Structure 1
Amino acid sequence: MTFKHSRFDRFILGFVYMLLTLAVLLIVVPLVYVVIASFMEPTALLNKGLSLNPADYSIEGYEKILSSKSMLNGFLNSLFYSAMFALVTVVVSMFAGFPLAIDGFVGRRFFMILFIVTMFFGGGLVPTFLVVKQLGLLDTVWAVIIPGAVNVWNIFLARTFFKGIPKELSEAAKVDGASEARTFFSIVLALSKPIMFVLALYAFVGQWNSFFDAMIYLENSRLYPLQLVLRSILIQNQVSPEMIGDRLAQAELKRLSEIIKYASIVISSLPLLVMYPFFQKYFEKGVMVGSLK
């Protein structure tokens, strides 16, 4: 069946397509620029800008980064922080969201109000820092993982997903003699893979791109995540001497610093680009199911 659009409808559709095309260009063009610039020879990039001449391309920037202990250490730290943060977030969200989805749970309204209040009011940076300090977490990996792992929005998203699971399943399990714990671990979790992957992806991406908590709570540079190392390169223009070489002149430092910046951006984005295709089917299903109610 074909529909005939009026002149006004065609105008609106054309305007929407133009906006979408502009949005795509605003996203794609900088990405393409960074990727191409990361593979260019430093001198050619500084003198010519982007070039399509194969002679102007080089992998020198990637060689310098991969030989850098600070970048490798930061990469491994970020993987650990993000994986542990995602694990803690998923566990807390699932265990907190399930009882809130049970109609007969005593105190559910109280806990719901308590959680909602924390979404609008927070202690602030200084009280949070003092709590982390009093707990002895300063300058440890747990200072980056624990404070932000409990996310009320994720708990509510899990609760909404649980509310969508048919009650007949849990009632049938109770008839067979299963307890609430057995029902949760044997039935609910088996049906909750989409929302678990969604929460894990949200948490992993958020923690991977985060550097503020590490900047506040960490002093030992060996514990710095990749984003903090990348921040020193991109914003503070502090390229690690091990990437350049102590014997190279200042001109050589300037020559290599640009491609090191671009190559650092590409490498820091790789885990998310590799991970997303495997999570996509769960991501789409989990977001849609979790948003029904």
Structure 2
Amino acid sequence: MTDTFSTTPDISAVRPQASTIKDTTGYRVFRVVNAIVLLGVCVVTLYPFINLFAKAFSSEGYIAAGEVNLVPRGFNVETFQVVLGDPMFWINYRNTVVYTLVGTAIAMALTTTYAYAISRRNLKGRTFFTGIAVFTMFFGGGLIPNYILVANVLGMRNTIWAVVVPSAISVFNLLVMKSFFENFPQELEEAAAIDGMSTYGIFFRIVLPLSKAVLATMTLFYAVGIWNSWFNSFLYLDEKELFPVTVYLRNLIAAASGPGAEAGADTIQIGANIQSVTMLLTVLPIVCLYPFLQKYFVSGVMLGSVKG
């Protein structure tokens, strides 16, 4: 006797139909054009870095003649030896690491707490505190008043605080985080409040752990900004032992290419490719750090596109 019920499911009814869009001529043209555009973007993006690397290891004559493109010509490491052999370089490099870590921690602490506070709709004076932050985007006291405030009034000259405190909060980052916290599901906070959790407990135990994307993105923004910053250090620091590596490299370029530079072989070599070497040494740590934050950064740049 034959079983009237088949144990084999009929998958023909649920099998997805092949999309016909891939068979059209327009879609093929789109794929080709899209590949060409993306390839062009990659070339435009990568070429400056490859050219920078090639010039850093090329000799002065080939650089001056404009013959260095993607491959080093007249391979040399004299500039690296001069820069890396100076003990002051490592002291200033350590200062940069310290300034970046301390400055990023301060900036993230102030930005997250400020953004979370003004994102609460029940906060009295919410519009006023938001307006204060936005006001600073368009109006400032100027260079001389800021210098007097930091150096004389606050007494921060020749200290780490003169580097990390004046630009601790970026209003753009503040507004991005404010928008993120405004779209945060309020049901989670209400449930935690019903369970007896305080405002600080909700912020540190509920909100921050679920905000890894925006925190990683803002951390990257602040870290890169502080790492590359040199003007505040150049303005408020006088002691060489306190300089970040950016000021050290700036002074090295000025000394190598200035009118008073000696015409020695090393000086001529440094004057030709010092910019490439210094930029390579400065950007390398950030390039190494970015892959670890990439997955959070990709999510963070889409903040506000989807509301909770």
Range that drifts further, 30-39 or 47-56? 47-56
Q: Any residues of structure 2 matched to 1:92-131 within 5 Å, and which?
A: 92-131=110-149
Q: What whole-Å deviation, never above 9, does each CA across 1:237-285 have from its counterpart, x for those lacking one?
A: 5379xxxxxxx96234213433443222211111110000001111111
State the partner residue of 1:243.
Answer: none
Gap change, CA 1:136 and 1:291, over 3 Å in 2: farther
State the partner residue of 2:201.
Answer: 182
TM-score (norm 1): 0.84
Q: What whole-Å deviation, never above 9, does each CA across 1:63-103 have from its counterpart, x for those lacking one?
A: 22211123222222211112212111110111111121222
How many angstroms does 1:132 deviate by?
0.5
Are residues 1:64 and 2:82 paired?
yes
* Stretches of structure 2 lacking an aligned partner (at least 5 in a row): 1-18
Q: SS at 1:56's partner residue?
A: coil
How many angstroms does 1:111 deviate by?
1.1
State the partner residue of 1:206.
Answer: 225
Question: CA–CA distance in 1 between the matches of 2:61 and 2:206?
Answer: 61
TM-score (norm 2): 0.80
Corresponding residue to 1:146 among 165, 172, 183: 165
How many angstroms does 1:26 deviate by?
3.9
State the partner residue of 2:283.
Answer: 269
Letter in 1 for 2:299: K
Gap change, CA 1:279 and 1:113, over 3 Å in 2: same
Is the 1:158–1:290 Cα contact (8 Å) retained in structure 2? no
Letter in 2 for 1:64: V
Q: What whole-Å deviation, never above 9, does each CA across 1:168-225 have from its counterpart, x for those lacking one?
A: 1111111111111111111111112221111111001111111111122121122221
Letter in 1 for 2:284: L
Are residues 1:172 and 2:195 paired?
no
Q: What whole-Å deviation, never above 9, does each CA across 1:88-121 have from its counterpart, x for those lacking one?
A: 1110111111121222112212212222222222
Q: SS at 1:123's partner residue?
A: coil
How many angstroms does 1:55 deviate by?
9.1
Identity %: 30
Letter in 2 for 1:276: Y
Gap change, CA 1:171 and 1:267, over 3 Å in 2: same
Gap change, CA 1:5 and 1:146, over 3 Å in 2: farther
Is the 1:233–1:261 Cα contact (8 Å) retained in structure 2? no
Is the 1:99–1:105 Cα contact (8 Å) retained in structure 2? yes
State the partner residue of 1:280.
Answer: 294
Question: CA–CA distance in 2 between the matches of 1:50 and 1:218?
Answer: 37
State the partner residue of 2:303.
Answer: 289
Gap change, CA 1:292 and 1:233, over 3 Å in 2: farther
Is the 2:57–2:72 Cα contact (8 Å) retained in structure 1? no
How many angstroms does 1:61 deviate by?
2.7
Please identify the structure whose Cα radius of gyration is greater.
2
- Aligned residue pairs, count: 284
Range that drifts further, 119-128 or 171-180? 119-128
Question: CA–CA distance in 2 between the matches of 1:82 and 1:164?
Answer: 30
How many angstroms does 1:62 deviate by?
2.1
Question: CA–CA distance in 2 between the matches of 1:186 and 1:255?
Answer: 56
Q: SS at 2:265's partner residue?
A: helix
How many angstroms does 1:39 deviate by?
2.1
Q: SS at 1:106's partner residue?
A: coil
Question: CA–CA distance in 1 between the matches of 2:142 and 2:66?
Answer: 48
* Stretches of structure 1 lacking an aligned partner (at least 5 in a row): 241-247
How many angstroms does 1:30 deviate by?
2.5
Are residues 1:31 and 2:45 paired?
no
